[in-house]
Amino acid sequence: MQIIEGGVCAAQGFKAGGIHCGIRKNKSKRDLSMILSAVPARAAAVYTTNLVKGAPLVVTKENLADGLAQVILCNSGNANTCNADGIDIARSMCDMAAQATGLRATDVVIASTGVIGQPLPLAPIAEGMAPLVASLSEHGSAQAAEGIMTTDTVRKEIAVTFEAGGKTCHLGGIAKGSGMIAPNMATMLVFLTTDANISSFMLQKALSEDVKDSFNMVSVDGDTSTNDMVTILANGMAGNDEICAEGNDFSAFCEALAVVTQTLCKAIARDGEGATRLITCKVSGAKSTADAKTAAKAVTRSSLLKAAIFGADANWGRVLCALGYSGAALDVTQVDVTFASAKGSIEVCKQGAGVDFSEEKAKEILLEDAVDILITLHEGSGEATAWGCDLTYDYVKINGDYRT
Which residues are identified as catalytic? 187
Rounded Cα gap, residues 352 and 99, in angstroms? 63
Which run of H or of E encompasses 50?
none
Closest C-alpha among 204, 206, 230 to residue 218: 230
* Length, in residues, of the chain: 404
Sign of CA dihedral 216, 220, 223, 225: negative
253 near 206, Cβ under 8 Å?
yes
19 near 202, Cβ under 8 Å?
no
The number of beta carbons lying within 10 Å of the beta carbon of residue 386 is 27
Rounded Cα gap, residues 262 and 156, in angstroms? 12
3-state secondary structure 291-335: HHHHHHHHHHHCHHHHHHHHCCCCCCHHHHHHHHHCCCCCCHHHC
The set of residues, in sequence order, having a beta carbon less than 8 Å from that of 267 and lying 6+ positions away, is 154, 156, 158, 175
| Phi/psi-derived region of residue 344, left when phi > 0, alpha when psi is between -120 and 50, beta in every other case | left
Rounded Cα gap, residues 31 and 197, in angstroms? 32
Please report the DSSP string for 321-390 in residue order.
HHHHHS-----GGG-EEEEEETTEEEEEEETTEE----HHHHHHHHTSSEEEEEEE--SSSEEEEEEEE-
SS3 call for 55: helix
The number of beta carbons lying within 10 Å of the beta carbon of residue 360 is 8
Instruction: Provide the 8-state DSSP code for 60.
Output: H
